[in-house]
Amino acid sequence: MTTQPTSPSEAAALSLSMAVVEASPGPLLLLDGDLQVVAVSGSFLDAFGIDADTARGRPLASLGGGEWASPKLRSLLQATRSGAATIAAYEMDLERSGQPARQLVIHAQRLDYLDLENVRLLVAIADVTDARADEAARALAMRENLVLLQEVRHRVANSLQIIASVLLQNARKSGSTETRGHLKDAHHRVMSIAALERLLAGSGEDRVELHAYFTELCGSIAASMIADPDLLSLVVEGGRGVVDSRVSVSLGLIVTELVINALKHAFPDNHRGKIVVACDFRGANWTLTVTDDGVGLPTDPALVRTGLGTSIVQALAQQLQATVEITSANPGVCVSIDHTHIALVDSAPAPPSLTGRAAQSK
């Protein structure tokens, strides 16, 4: 049984507590030590269809049609009453006859105040049914959109493959050596994007693991441009990192340009050699390198001139806020694309300058 307050001040405190609970905009209950309702908010009554006159002074378990008579809820409230626990976020399904189940999150806390002989529990109820339904609907929509995106990417990859094939056929038919070279370069650039779209379609994500991407990309380039794999090899090292698909597009095109450039100029007269594509990650920073062991940089400055490939690499590196550095690999050449993220730097880096063999026209 509940003991009544023993002093006017305690009675006033209880009266104020009841008034606060009853005026609460959210479902709120004030229970005594026997888990009987001392006060109840109007929002609780409205939300769960309970008559105010039959709620006060009754056990919580008897409210409504008995749907609050949960053994686990009672056990948790008893533990809270004894001070052994506090209900932070107990989830339960409220089953009512003829009505859909509601998903509730319940918080309960024992109140410590002057009337120590009378235990009071404050119980707050949040109905999260609609919110959970919205979350489920959003999750379903995301899954459906992901399936649709994968299908679109698969179709884009197929379309790019067809375009690349047409470019290669036209290159073979062309009587102009220069035109044939440009068409083959365009073919490789389209193939670099097609390889990425196939990778994205298979992963189901918008993130790309670079080693797998570069391996597929370089395999495609090698198959079409390296006549004798025993004489000339193209390998991928490192790159065990993941980047956004937007970044991977630019990196893939940079690799395509630099590898083609090396294949064209680093190994004249069937020179034996190797090209290595590598990417090293340092947190948010990374360095992409394309290194060959070919003939190296030209000694005659007259041979250095700007071409389409140079312009593409410059534009893509600037877009990634990266710098380009050309160094001698002794033998050969190493081209490094370095991205270093520095906080609070607003100015974009100056356009990278390509010099030496890597700047020769394609």
For position 350, what pLDDT does the model report? Answer: 46
Q: At 65, phi and psi to the nearest 5?
A: -100, 25
% of the chain residues with pLDDT over 70? 83
Contact 178, 186 (CB under 8 A): no
**Rg of the chain on CA atoms, in Å:** 36
For position 208, what pLDDT does the model report? Answer: 82
Query: Is a pLDDT exceeding 50 seen at residue 125?
Result: yes
Task: Answer with the residue of higher pLDDT: 150 or 212.
Answer: 212
Task: Answer with the residue of higher pLDDT: 300 or 323.
Answer: 323
The partner residues of 208 in beta bridges, in order of sequence, read: 243
For position 292, what pLDDT does the model report? Answer: 93
- Find the mean pLDDT for residues 109-133: 80
As a whole number of angstroms, the distance between CA 317 and CA 94 comes to: 58
Q: What is the mean pLDDT of the chain?
A: 80
- The residues near 68 (Cβ < 8 Å, ≥ 6 apart) are 60, 61, 62, 94
Query: Is a pLDDT exceeding 50 seen at residue 198?
Result: yes
Q: Which residue has the tokens 């105040």?
A: 113
For position 5, what pLDDT does the model report? Answer: 54
* Residues 284-316 pLDDT 10s: 889 999 999 998 877 655 554 444 456 788 888
Architecture of the structural domain at 8-127: 2-Layer Sandwich (3.30)
- Range with the lowest mean pLDDT among 7-16, 125-134, 225-234? 7-16
Fold of 208-362: Heat Shock Protein 90 (3.30.565)
- Find the mean pLDDT for residues 1-28: 68
Quick check: bond before 27 cis, omega within 30?
no
Q: Which residue has the tokens 């209900």?
A: 87
Query: Is a pLDDT exceeding 80 seen at residue 146?
Result: no
As a whole number of angstroms, the distance between CA 121 and CA 82 comes to: 10
Quote the crossing angle between the two packed helices 210-225 and 245-265, to the nearest 10°. 30
Query: Is a pLDDT exceeding 80 seen at residue 347?
Result: no
For position 12, what pLDDT does the model report? Answer: 62
Sketch the domain layout of the chain as residue ranges: 8-127, 131-205, 208-362
Find the distance separating the first CA and the last CA of the chain, reported in whole Å. 94
Chain center to CA of 80:
40
